[in-house]
Chains A and B, each alone.
Chain A
Amino acid sequence: MSDAPRRSTRLNKGQEEEAKKTKHADHDVEMEDTTDATKDGDKPEEKVLGVKELEAIAIADIKQHFVLFTKSAKTHEARFAVRALRSVSSLRKRLTAAVLARTIASSYTKDEEERQRLLGYLGPEALSSITSEDEATVTKVDTPEVGVYLHLLVMIYLLDQGQIEKGIELSNVTVKTVQELNRRSLDQLAAKVYFYYARFYELAGRLAEIRPTLLNAQRTATLRRDDDTQSTLINLLLRNYFHYNLYDQADKLVSKTTFPENATNNQLARYMYYLGRIKAIQLEYTESHQSLLQAVRKAPQNTVTAGFQQEANKLLIIVQLLMGEIPERSLFRQPVLRKALVPYFQITQAVRVGDLTKFQETLATHAATFNTDKNYTLILRLRHNVIKTGIRMISLSYSRISLRDVCLKLHLDSEEDAEYIVAKSIRDGVIDATIDHEKGFMRSKENVDIYSTNEPQHAFHQRIGFCLKLHNDSVKAMRFPLKVTPNQDAAELEAARDQEKTLVQEIAEADEDMDEDHDEL
């Protein structure tokens, strides 16, 4: 995207928190120089356009979305709605009170209740921007989707302006409307509405209040097999529980629900991150590691998602360390992550060398950071990993060493402690050794040839299984051209093909063009 460089300079400052804080202030700037943020950024001539023209383009885009929503509702094809919602993130940067007010004015007749309500949220200046032309060419809104979409746009606008109280009011109304309307063609929109609804309450610090509403909506969405809303709501609920550290409830929610398979990548990445955190807290590191890896891989790799990438990677590093693995050095060098991961890098170093004093020092220096990341208790658990690494190093370097020396090297309290600790590491399979109690030393055993065991076969099986699964999944995901039946009109066929083409193109574009929501989470 054309505004990528500007964003990255901001995010290079590091912390997601910082990014969040600057976001609102930053947005005003973005509003003014919308020139480089206009549609797709591939129309250089727009740079010279004035405010009026930009407004007109934005309004035209919104109107275009109206057509898509109406089409989607009439044909029962969700993909038109999805297409419109995808471009909301690029539209968002161009939303101004004037654009919204003019769109609203030209979509509702004067005496309609919704018109008054929506305009009320925009403030008095917006009203003055409505031209008589807008009011003259009212195209009546006949599908409820368009109405909900307008509500959604106003909500996004309020969020960007930081008007939380108004946003809460409006989102309450909108959620109620969506629930009352109960239309399948609203599913995609509903997911977005719930997202911003929860976001407003979070910013107001009132997350606990909406839990019952979200749970109810989640139940309804599950019954209606509404994948988009379902996945969004599960994530919102998890986030809600996490906010209050209620991991117990979060775990129960996860075990009682199934995350829809068709959920979008972004929702899946989020879900995987939450799952990884729950599992990490429950000491199921292998599962946690898998989920987090998926989260990191599924998350779009660009600067907009820096916050999410940082959070997920932080957790991933800790889980890797807890599993006894050392994360790769290159991870800490990535420009998006570098600054944010510094404290974690130091911890990793301490664990790698097995230096208990250094570990404690790092822990003390960065305690505040770890606390805000909610990773402090997890890091505390690393203490015994540091000791384990230490013991492993000793066992590798010495074939025989007295327990007293072990005790000194690891800075342990007493020789008895050292004996227990070594005995435990032997049982846990950290080292292969025996202890001679009478003479007080530990003797390492010779290394076993790994190829004489079943280990290589097991590893191969895993890899082959993965490749085969990949193949099967790709076969399943293939799309085939429409079947040609003799009585089908040639023109109709052509139209279908065209549609297919644009769809493929858009999917490709959308992969690059990130859903902006990631920035907020």
Chain B
Amino acid sequence: MAVPEVKKLAQALSQEYNKPNPDLAKCGQYLSQLKIALIELQYLTHDDKHNNIEELTLARDVLEIGAQWSVRTKDIPSFERYMAQLQTYYNDHPNLPASPLKYNLIGLNLLCLLSQNRISDFHTALETIDPEQLHSNPAIQHPIKLEQSLMEGSYNRVWSSRSEVPSKEYLFFIDILMDTIRNEIASCSEKAYTSLPLADAGTLLFFTNMADILNFAQERNWKVNPAEQKAYFHSDADEKINIPSEQIIKQTMFYARDMDRIV
């Protein structure tokens, strides 16, 4: 396929995608066609011969739509693939005109890493972002603030950040994040409280009805006392500390062997 045809196809895709109610299946078809076409244009090999700005921009735009489309269809592995391919376009081609979607997508990627609890990847990704954008761009600031609140334990703020998302694609990841947080809060509560009234547990965990709370309590093996309406957490204080005899024997043998070598 020659460049003009690919261009036409890409336009069709972006038209379809930017409709108020896009047909996602159709977009998927367009995308797979486009990907094959782009491979023919050698969009993955970047040597000097293929430094055609027009082709590169085209490929980048298609990939950007692809990344957004993956979020809409809730396909995380596909999103990560698109992002990995986009990295080269963002980092290694300084003469390419900047994309308006760039930071939005990078922000999404950060959130995606966060929602999977890949904190070290999150920080590595953060380092590649231009410091100026880091402080000013709302799309980047949002995941950064989220991560800070998460680390501190201000889960309340994470919950309320839902209403401040820079774009609707973010919601998908925030919803995943909510489940993670709920489990985090639960594990904190188990350690911090000896018992907790069910209604309060509900507010802490952002549940609105009793059935959800009971289900959740069952999942985490909490002892619920129906008469008091309280959940009890088993404490590990009464666990006995065993003498690690085997380990001590091993260590002593190790000392003996080495001392023998010295003397």
A residues contacting B by CB (< 8 A) are 208, 244-248, 251, 281-284, 371, 376-377, 380-381, 383-384, 387, 412-414, 416-417, 419-427, 433-438, 453-454, 457, 461, 464-465, 468, 471-472
Contacts and interface: CB of A to CB of B under 8 A. Distances in A.
Interface in B187-223: 187-194, 196-197, 200, 204
Contacts of B241: 453-454
A457 B248 contact: yes
A336 B6 CA distance: 61
B154 A454 contact: no
Contact of B124 (A281, A371, A433): A281
A420 B153 contact: yes
A438 B200 CA distance: 9
Contacts of B156: 413-414, 416-417, 420
B185 interface: yes
18 contacts: A247-B127, A281-B124, A283-B120, A283-B123, A377-B123, A384-B151, A384-B152, A384-B153, A416-B156, A419-B204, A420-B188, A421-B152, A424-B152, A435-B193, A437-B193, A437-B200, A438-B197, A472-B258
A427 B120 contact: no
A425 B123 contact: no
Nearest to B185: A420
B178 interface: no
Given A246-B128, A251-B124, A437-B193, A468 B154 contact: no
Nearest to A248: B124
Interface in B230-262: 241, 244, 248, 251, 254-255, 258, 261-262
B26 interface: no
B157 A422 contact: no
Given A245-B128, A454-B241, A472-B258, A426 B192 contact: yes
Interface residues of B, number: 44
Interface of B: 91-92, 119-120, 123-128, 131, 134, 144, 148, 151-157, 184-185, 187-194, 196-197, 200, 204, 241, 244, 248, 251, 254-255, 258, 261-262
Contact of A434 (B151, B193, B262): B193
B153 A421 contact: yes
Nearest to A431: B192
Contacts of B120: 281-284
Which of B156, B187, B204 has most A Cβ within 10 Å? B156
A142 B156 CA distance: 77
Given A245-B127, A247-B124, A387-B152, 14 more contacts: A283-B119, A381-B123, A384-B152, A412-B154, A413-B156, A414-B156, A420-B188, A427-B188, A434-B192, A438-B197, A457-B248, A468-B255, A471-B262, A472-B261
A238 B65 CA distance: 34
Contacts of B157: 413, 417
B123 A427 contact: no
A298 B230 CA distance: 58
B148 A380 contact: yes
Contacts of A381: 123, 151
Nearest to A374: B127
B192 A435 contact: yes
A417 B154 contact: yes
B126 A422 contact: no
B247 to A, nearest CB: 9
